[in-house]
Amino acid sequence: MFKGFKQFLMRGNVVDLAVAVIMGAAFGKVVDVMTKGLLMQLVAAVVGTPDFSGLSFTLNGAKFAIGDFLNALISFLLVGATVYFFVVAPMNALNARRRRGEAPPDPTTKKCPECLSEVPIAAKRCAFCTSTLG
C-alpha cells in the first residue's frame, strides 16, 4: 500500500505540480508587491489616493461600496498588465529569438484542390469529395 503511494508521489507530474504551486505562490507575492507598492502608488500620484474603498452611495437604505469594486478592478488590471509585460511578452520574445534559425517543420497535410479539405500528404484520393489528388 505504501509502495503504491510512494510511486504516486514520485511520478514526474506530481512533483512538477508541487513545484509549480510553490513557484506560483512565490511569484504571486512578487506581483502583489509590485502592484500595490509601485503601480498603485502611480495611480495615487495621478488620482490622489491609492485606495477607493471610501467611495460608496446609499440607495433605499442599501449601501453600494463602489470603491471596493474600483479597487478590485484596478488591482486586477494592474496584475494582468504586470504579468503580461514582465513575464509573457519577454518569454514570447525569448522563444521567438530562440526559434529564429530553425526551419519550419515539414507539412503533414495538403489541401484538396476540389473541396479545399485538409488531407494527409500521402493521400491519393480525397476522403471528403473522392477526387483524385495529384
Q: CA quadruple 21, 22, 24, 25: dihedral positive or negative?
A: positive
Retrieve residue 127's grid coordinates: 476522403
pLDDT given for residue 12 in this prediction: 66
Model-level pTM greater than 0.75?
no
CB contact at 8 A, 122 and 106: no
Domain 2-102 has CATH 1.10.260.40: no
CB contact at 8 A, 133 and 119: yes
Say which DSSP state 108 is in: S
Q: Which residue type does 37 have?
A: G
Residues of the chain with CATH 1.10.1200.120: 2-102
Q: What is the mean pLDDT of residues 81-97?
A: 88
- Pick the more confident residue, 127 or 11: 127
Residue pLDDT, tens place only, 31-71: 778 877 887 788 788 877 777 778 888 899 998 888 888 88
